[in-house]
Amino acid sequence: MHKILLIFLFHGLLHNIHSQYCVSGGPSSTIDSNLETLQLVGTSGGINFVGCPGVTGVQEYFSETTTVSAGASYVMTIKFGTCGGNFNSIGEIWIDFNANNIFEETESIFTWSGTPPMTTANYVLTIPASSLSGQTRMRAIHAEGQSFPLDPCSSFTWGSVTDFLITIEDGVDCSSYIGDDASDARLVPSIPYSETYDNSFCYSNQNPAYNSPDVFYKFATSMSSSLKVSLCGSLFDTFLSIQDKWGNVIAANDDNTECGAQSIVDFPTAGYDTLYAIVEGWGNQMGEYTIDFSTGNLDIEDITSDYYSITPNPAHTSIKIEGAFSGQLQIVDTEGRSVLDTFYESNKTIDISNLPSGFYIVHLTNDERSCDKKLIVQ
């Protein structure tokens, strides 16, 4: 049985953090290359943007908006120009069709490279039928000294970053999607439980581990004293964490030896009544995944021993080992890393003030026996 588990504590109100569009980049100069004009007339409203004079940073041009329909096509007029000299540059435009606050490579709709003035382009914009209904952003970047693919969050000296608001109608309705945060988590009715799902649409980044959409699952620990949650078989590089109802992370995994870039956690549930499993991708990755809940291999009974006891437990700054046992003591975190290795004697005070809050395995050995016991540091 596995007796080493990565369990640690993140502080903060994790469930209240929403991902926001990156707005800290953009140009540091107001001269030279700039988005000169952009016009888009949808089913209602319209955008008629004139760029110069230049603006540093990200310009949020929200005074004019337009509404478009999923599956329909529109003509968008674009001209990358200049507010000064003419220099070799590139331009790119994205629309956040899945409304996850990330401009992805697959959402790039137009590119241009050359030296201004650019010949005005009449681009036929087709709104994917799979787009989410509601308001979203379009971003246009014109930059010197850059190369494709442009980073939609990049900083540079000369150019422009301009954001527009558009509303998509007749697209995917997210009202039936649940699991975007802990208050609306997908319920695990029993163990074992498995489902194949997708976080590409209707989900945002609520968990700050990575900047990717998250899906929350809620389960009662009374269903099993030990649980194994697996994302093996998912179609992208996953990250999986287990949180308590206060937002503290008690277990997490990125990659593992069982299924590579997919995630597995195996943990005891003692001391908790309700827990949450949060599925997300490494970096910005997302897509179809399979999550499986089953009885785990690590139970509290597996790591208890009558040979000695730890006091206090839970502990804060120090512990004592009580019992007729002396030898080598090793404290291992749940990633298998030794965080303390020392000789101990019964009732000797051991300083643990440098250990982060979380779960640990205390391993003691001498010539006669080897024993393991769980330690909770608060």
Residue 289 lies in a domain: yes
Sign, Cα dihedral of 297, 298, 299, 301: positive
CB atoms within 10 A of CB 256: 17
Of 266, 298, 330, which residue constitutes the final position of a domain? 298
For residues 318 and 362, membership in a common domain is answered with: yes
pLDDT the model gives residue 209 = 75
Q: Which of 118, 137, 169 is the last residue of a domain?
A: 169
Q: How far is CA 107 from the centre of its chain?
A: 19
**What CATH number did the domain enclosing 369 receive?**
2.60.40.3080
Q: What is the dihedral of CA 359, 268, 250, 257, to 10 degrees?
A: 100
State the pTM of this model: 0.59
Q: Is 24 domain-assigned?
A: no
- DSSP class of 257: T
* Residue 101 placed within a domain: yes
Give residue 363's pLDDT.
76
Are 41 and 141 part of one and the same domain?
yes
Q: Which of 250, 273, 298 is the last residue of a domain?
A: 298
**pLDDT value at position 18?**
36
Q: What is the pLDDT of residue 325?
A: 62
Instruction: Verify that 274 and 194 share a domain, yes or no.
Output: yes
Peptide bond into 152 cis (omega under 30): no
Is the CB of residue 233 less than 8 Å from the CB of residue 264? Answer: no
Distance, CA of 54 to CA of 64 (rounded, Å): 18
Residue 261 falls within a domain, yes or no?
yes
- pLDDT value for 307: 56
Examine the domain organization and report whether 165 and 181 are in the same domain.
no
341 within a domain of the structure (yes/no): yes
Low-confidence ranges of the chain (pLDDT < 70): 1-19, 208, 297-307, 323-325, 334-336, 366-372
pLDDT confidence of residue 169: 97
Whether 209 and 185 share a structural domain: yes
What does DSSP say about strands 159-169 and 58-69: parallel, antiparallel, or unpaired?
parallel
Q: Which pLDDT does position 96 carry in this prediction? A: 96
Record the tokens describing residue 336, joined without a space.
Answer: 């298998």
Asked if residue 18 is part of any domain, the answer here is no
CA distance 376 to 300: 12
How many Å separate Cα 148 from the centre of its chain? 25
Q: In the prediction, which pLDDT does 368 show?
A: 60
> For 48-65, b where at least 16 C-beta lie within 10 A, e where not — what string?
ebebbebbeebbebeeeb
pLDDT for 82 equals: 96
The Cα angle at residue 336 between residues 334 and 338, in degrees rounded to 5: 105
Residue 185 sits in the same domain as residue 262: yes
Helix (H, G, I), strand (E, B) or coil at 14: helix
Does 329 fall in a domain?
Answer: yes
Round to whole Å and give the CA distance between 161 and 157. Answer: 11
| Segments forming the whole domain that contains residue 367 | 304-377
pLDDT at residue 131, rounded to an integer: 94
